[in-house]
Structure 1
Amino acid sequence: MLKELFSRFIDLLDAVLFEPFRVENVISSWGTYPLKVVGILVLLLASASAGAGYVFITPPFTGRSFGQFATAAATHLLFFILLPYAIAFIVDGLAQSSGKKGNANITFRFVSLSLSLFISNAAWAILLAQLGVKGGFGVITLYSIHYGLFMTVLVRGTSYIYDLKFKDSLRINIFTFLVTFFLPLSMYSAMITSFNPSLP
């Protein structure tokens, strides 16, 4: 039972991240409740990894580092919960304005599951920190890597979900990228200012 569920979960993420031409069928094959459970699991893991990543890449570590991690994880959880709504709303609206049929529900699920990319955030942060890429520059580098991969997945997924040409999907997602780009950076800046680990 668990082995089958795990296999279906991996197949779902594989379709979302690597084979978007079958993402609509795979998402539709899941029931509403199991899909919500999977979505929540992805959000929690991505948020924890993002919180840990931004702590690892901004040394020094002090007694306040755990508080910083908890705050960063909670902040990213809030952001990751809200982001799919914003992206699905913008992408679906722009696709419909191009004469395509609305598909906001699949787009929302697709974006939510695409956030699984951020599960690797902590591992990337450790690697970058070991290479000497730390502090503000490290944060921007870490964020750019993940958001770049995230937008690449969205461009490919949008093309298949709405049957758009690559250039139209790219245009829609660049606009979405410009609208949403500074949201996580501004949230992180506010958090790091309040919970600076270098303070006593």
Structure 2
Amino acid sequence: MLKELFFRFIDLLDAVLFEPFRAENVISSWGTNPLRSVWIFILFFSALSAGAGYVFISPPFTNRSLGQLITAAVAHLLFFLLLPYAIAFITDGYAQSKGRKGNANLFLHFVRFSLSLFITTAAWGILLSQFGWKGGFGIVTLYTIHYGFFMAVMVRGTSYIYDLKFRDSLFINLTTFVITFFLPLSMYFAIISSFSPAFQ
């Protein structure tokens, strides 16, 4: 049972991240409750990894680091919780303006599962810090890498799900990228600065 569930989970991520032409069929083969469980799993680990990545790449490590990890994880949890709705709303509205059929529910699931890319943030943070890419430069680099991969997945997914040309898909995703680019960084620094006195 667990083995079958694991392989179905891997197949879901494979379809979303690498073969978006299969995404609709694979997502629709899951029930509502299993999809919600998978989304919660991805949301939790993506937020935790993103929070850890930004702490790893921002030394020195002190007794405040655990508190920073928690607040950074919470900041990214909120961001990852809200981001799919913003992207799905903007993309679906644009697609309908181009005469395409609305498919917001499917695309919302697609965006949610695409956030699994951020599960690797902690590993990237450790790798970049080992190469000396730390502090503000490291954070921007780490964020750009992941958001770049994420946007590439979004462009392909938008093209297939809404049957849009690559140019139109790229335009709407670049627009969404500009709108949402500074949200996680601003949330991260705002929460850190607000709660940092409690960790001293």
Shared fold per TM-score greater than 0.5 = yes
1:13-162 superposed matches below 5 A? 13-162=13-162
In structure 2, distance between residues paired with 1:3 and 1:94: 40
In structure 2, distance between residues paired with 1:192 and 1:142: 18
Aligned length: 199
In structure 1, list runs of 5 or more residues that go unmatched.
none
In structure 2, distance between residues paired with 1:193 and 1:124: 24
How far has the Cα of 1:192 moved from its partner? Answer: 3.4
In structure 1, distance between residues paired with 2:193 and 2:78: 18
In structure 1, distance between residues paired with 2:186 and 2:95: 28
How far has the Cα of 1:196 moved from its partner? Answer: 5.5
- Residue identity matched to 1:169: S
Structure 1 contact 64–195 (Cα < 8 Å) conserved: no
Structure 2 contact 71–192 (Cα < 8 Å) conserved: no
Aligned residues with identical type, % of pairs: 72
In structure 1, distance between residues paired with 2:119 and 2:138: 17
How far has the Cα of 1:185 moved from its partner? Answer: 1.5
Q: Higher mean Cα deviation, 172-181 or 98-107?
A: 172-181
- Residue identity matched to 1:37: S
Structure 2 contact 94–172 (Cα < 8 Å) conserved: yes
Structure 1 contact 44–77 (Cα < 8 Å) conserved: yes
How far has the Cα of 1:191 moved from its partner? Answer: 2.7
In structure 2, list runs of 5 or more residues that go unmatched.
none
How far has the Cα of 1:182 moved from its partner? Answer: 1.2
In structure 2, distance between residues paired with 1:61 and 1:25: 46
Runs of 4+ in 1 over 2 A off after TM superposition: 191-197
Superposed CA deviations along residues 1-54 of structure 1, whole A, max 9, x for unmatched, are 000000000000000000001101100110000000000000001001001001
1:1-20 superposed matches below 5 A? 1-20=1-20
In structure 2, distance between residues paired with 1:180 and 1:53: 19
**Secondary structure of the corresponding residue to residue 100 of structure 2:** coil
Q: TM-score w.r.t. structure 1 length?
A: 0.97
Superposed CA deviations along residues 60-100 of structure 1, whole A, max 9, x for unmatched, are 00001001101111111111000000000000001100110
